[in-house]
């Protein structure tokens, strides 16, 4: 394989009632990312091995690019795609193509089944609204405030422990 050839990066995906979550598992400083109504484009160079990564993912259904965003977390790029159809059935797959691409895997850490969301009223919803606000339109950096641990008290479990015999 020549150094010039581009390969798709590993991509993890999950979905919620109103959103699709993508993680491009590649460390890339300045990737080119385009979120279209029916597709997502990614192009970037892996910082570690200098491999070129490029992929266009034709989505199963439509999304709202203006309400979708991404954030480069250094080791990966996380993306939230807002589905165009509200309360529509879950997508059976990320892509329209029946054949699953080799680079695409389900992100079980972020996945929520339709039944799970209905049962817990949407659940924590991966705090998607906060994530979208932090990303800003079209992506961006971590603009949120850092948590302060100054107000935490000492751990009472560590006090007055009996001696070991």
In a domain, 151, yes or no: no
Q: Look at the chain and report how many structural domains it folds into.
A: 1
Mean pLDDT of the 13-17 span: 92
In a domain, 153, yes or no: no
Range of the domain at 28: 6-129
In a domain, 87, yes or no: yes
Digit-coded pLDDT (tens) for 43-78:
999 999 999 999 999 999 999 999 999 999 999 999
Digit-coded pLDDT (tens) for 74-111:
999 999 999 999 877 899 999 988 888 999 999 998 88
This model's pTM is above 0.75: no
* Summary mean pLDDT of the chain: 80
In a domain, 147, yes or no: no
In a domain, 161, yes or no: no
- The enclosing domain of 45 has a CATH number of 2.60.40.790
DSSP 42-71: EEEE-TTT--EEEEEEEBSS-B-GGG-EEE
In a domain, 117, yes or no: yes
Tokens, residue 121: 């009223």
Q: Measuring CA to CA, which residue among 44, 49, 53 is closest to residue 139?
A: 44
In a domain, 138, yes or no: no
In a domain, 144, yes or no: no
């Amino acid at each position: 394989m020549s150094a010039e050839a581009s390969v798709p990066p590993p991509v993890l995906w999950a979905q919620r009632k109103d959103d699709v979550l993508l993680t491009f598992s590649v460390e890339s400083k300045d990737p080119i990312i385009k979120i279209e109504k029916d597709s997502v484009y990614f192009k970037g160079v892996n910082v570690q091995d200098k491999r070129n990564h490029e992929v266009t993912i034709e989505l199963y259904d439509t999304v709202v690019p203006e309400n979708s965003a991404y954030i480069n977390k250094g080791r990966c790029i996380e993306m939230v795609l807002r589905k165009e159809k509200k309360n529509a059935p879950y997508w059976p797959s990320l892509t329209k193509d029946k054949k699953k691409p080799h680079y695409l895997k389900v992100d079980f850490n972020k996945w929520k089944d339709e039944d799970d969301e209905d049962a817990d009223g949407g659940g924590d919803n991966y705090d998607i609204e906060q994530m979208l606000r932090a990303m800003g339109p079209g992506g961006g950096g971590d603009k949120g405030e850092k948590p302060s641990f100054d107000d935490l008290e000492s751990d009472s479990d560590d006090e007055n422990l009996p001696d070991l015999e």
